[in-house]
Structure 1
Amino acid sequence: MMDSLEIIDLYENIAVITDQMLNAARGRDWELLTKLETDCTSKVQRIRDSETNSLLTPELKERKIRVIKKILADDKEIRDITEPWMLELSNLMKNSSTTRKLSSTYGAGSTA
């Protein structure tokens, strides 16, 4: 079981990762974004497994709130960047699938 300071440190580590994720999304580095997301997910799970309802000092509570707000702001901006890209990718995949179906149905390279 982690103590309160260790939990706060883990939140701060997640904030660093979400900042890196945001930079990867801005740079359209989807591979790095995916790797960082996996790392972030494992740290979030550690918090879920370890965090207790222990009382935080006002200073630690404020620190935790500040870090969570930053994580959420980064997450929103990441989604703002990735959701249009995911839609674009989905449309490309649909178009590719439609092209394959048409080709299969009407024969590739057939002449009229």
Structure 2
Amino acid sequence: MAFRSEVVHCYEELATSIASMLVLARAKEWGRLPALEERCAAMVERLRAIEPFETLDSMQVEHVLDLLERIRSDQAEVSGLIKPQIEDLIGRMGYLTQQKNLGRAYGPPH
């Protein structure tokens, strides 16, 4: 029986968190994404710290590769759902900046 790997556990947690982000992005629950993003970042940092020191057996490597494929796929879909929201936000911020500059130049609207 294989030993319990912290590296595998971190990849499982990362995959679960990104899958949760995908569910939230599909539901347009944008406000709940940052907490999961922070969790993902913490998992990535933990993996950077521990991965070089742990050797996985062939079954664990295969499991991690499967998880990585799932992570990539889910992350790509999350990015595709978030990108239009970010572009809309940037557009709105540009509009507000333009209105602020006009207000400075010509005074407040009557």
Question: Does the TM-score normalized on the shorter chain lie above 0.5?
Answer: yes
The question of whether the paired residues in 2 share the 8 Å contact of 1:22 and 1:78 is answered with yes
Worse-matched range after superposition: 52-61 or 11-20: 52-61
**Which residue of structure 2 aligns with residue 29 of structure 1?**
29
Structure 2 CA distance for aligned equivalents of residues 53 and 59 of structure 1 = 18
The question of whether the paired residues in 1 share the 8 Å contact of 2:25 and 2:82 is answered with yes
**Which residue of structure 2 aligns with residue 49 of structure 1?**
49
Structure 2: give runs of 5+ residues left out of the alignment: none
Structure 2 CA distance for aligned equivalents of residues 34 and 106 of structure 1 = 39
Q: For residues 7-58 of structure 1, give each alpha carbon's deviation from its aligned partner in whole angstroms, at most 9, with x where no partner exists.
A: 1111011100000111111122222100100011101100100112654322
Shift in alpha-carbon separation, 1:13–1:20, aligned structure 2, 3 A = same
Aligned to 1:45, the other structure's residue is in SS state helix
Structure 1: give runs of 5+ residues left out of the alignment: none
**Which residue of structure 2 aligns with residue 13 of structure 1?**
13
The question of whether the paired residues in 1 share the 8 Å contact of 2:7 and 2:54 is answered with no
TM-score, structure 1 normalization: 0.87
TM-score, structure 2 normalization: 0.89
Deviation at 1:86, TM superposition (A): 0.4
- The runs of at least 4 aligned residues of structure 1 exceeding 3 Å deviation read none
**Which residue of structure 1 aligns with residue 101 of structure 2?**
101
**Which residue of structure 1 aligns with residue 59 of structure 2?**
59
Sequence identity percentage: 26
**Which residue of structure 1 aligns with residue 89 of structure 2?**
89
The question of whether the paired residues in 1 share the 8 Å contact of 2:7 and 2:47 is answered with yes
Shift in alpha-carbon separation, 1:35–1:54, aligned structure 2, 3 A = closer
The question of whether the paired residues in 2 share the 8 Å contact of 1:4 and 1:54 is answered with no
Give the counterpart letter for 1:6 in structure 2.
E
Task: Note the 1:61-80 alignment, pairs <5 A.
Answer: 61-80=61-80
